[in-house]
Amino acid sequence: MLAKLEDKYVHGLINKSMQGFVTANHGNGAWAEIVHMTDIPAQGFESMLSYPDSMTDAVLDAACAYVGCTRPSLMEDIGMFLVTHPDLEAVRRLMRFGGPTFEDFILSLDEVHDRACLAVPDLTLPKISLNEAGAGQYVITTQWQVAGAISLVSGVLRAMADDYGALVALDVGPRLQSDGEILETLSVFIAEPEFAAGRSFILAERSA
């Protein structure tokens, strides 16, 4: 069993995304019940504040209990939500800046953290590292203080594979703890980079 880590802080944008996922998919009543089950603020999270990661863990545990799912399943659904929900088009655009193909996007993953921090300097996203295993195969490692980051990444990758029209296979590996943070791995195999027509994407946003 992993030892309990000392509290660090999670940016409110991440917690706000969890709140948005719950309310969009299960309604305001579900969020109200999760608030009742935890010690989080009754009004929910503020996007520009930071919260102890123990609070993030409590919300994830309560959401899993309410929905009746595991944390990996919930985190993967949240990852897909972040890329596919119409109100979060900016996240999809951030991802698509990785390149014109899904493999280009994969190769740019270790830059996502720095690109996001340019937009929000104190944003604490999982750190991502990438290793090539040859012939369209990659191993992604996440480093974060909250368990389940790799499932979040898996959800983002599944959504982005659909966005690019690629056929990919994903396999989550074991979880380790190092230097006060949790390390998780994901194997990625790009079976067909042009399996289907992807969603349209224009690099420059249209002016109003």
Residue 174 has pLDDT above 60, yes or no: yes
Q: What is the model's pLDDT at position 12?
A: 67
Residues 132 and 188 in one domain: yes
Asked if residue 91 is part of any domain, the answer here is no
Residues 187 and 140 in one domain: yes
Three-state DSSP state, 164: helix
Residues 59 and 118 in one domain: no
Asked if residue 81 is part of any domain, the answer here is no
Asked if residue 76 is part of any domain, the answer here is no
Asked if residue 200 is part of any domain, the answer here is no
Asked if residue 75 is part of any domain, the answer here is no
Q: 3-state DSSP helix/strand/coil percent for the chain, to nearest 5? A: 45, 20, 30
The whole-angstrom separation of Cα 159 and Cα 170 is 12
Q: Tens digits of per-residue pLDDT, 54-69?
A: 888 899 999 999 999 9
Q: Which domain holds residue 30?
A: 9-68
Q: CATH number, domain at 127? A: 3.90.1520.10
How many domains does the structure of the chain reveal?
Answer: 2
Residues 111 and 164 in one domain: yes
Asked if residue 78 is part of any domain, the answer here is no
Residues 135 and 185 in one domain: yes
What b/e readout covers 82-100, taking b as 16+ CB neighbours within 10 angstroms? Answer: bbbbeebeebbebbbebee
Residue 42 has pLDDT above 80, yes or no: no
Residues 109 and 161 in one domain: yes
Residues 107 and 184 in one domain: yes
Task: Read off the pLDDT band of 171 (50, 70, 90).
Answer: very high
Q: Tens digits of per-residue pLDDT, 93-142?
A: 888 888 899 999 999 888 776 766 665 555 667 888 999 988 889 999 99
Mean pLDDT highest for which of 5-14, 36-45, 114-123?
A: 36-45
**90 and 205 in contact (C-beta within 8 Å)?**
no
Residues 50 and 112 in one domain: no
Q: What is the model's pLDDT at position 204?
A: 60
Residues 113 and 163 in one domain: yes
Four-residue CA torsion sign, 189, 192, 197, 202: positive
Lowest mean pLDDT among 70-84, 106-120, 131-145, 158-172: 106-120
Report the pLDDT averaged over residues 67-81.
93
**Whole-model pTM?**
0.85
- What is the average pLDDT value for the chain, to the nearest integer? 84
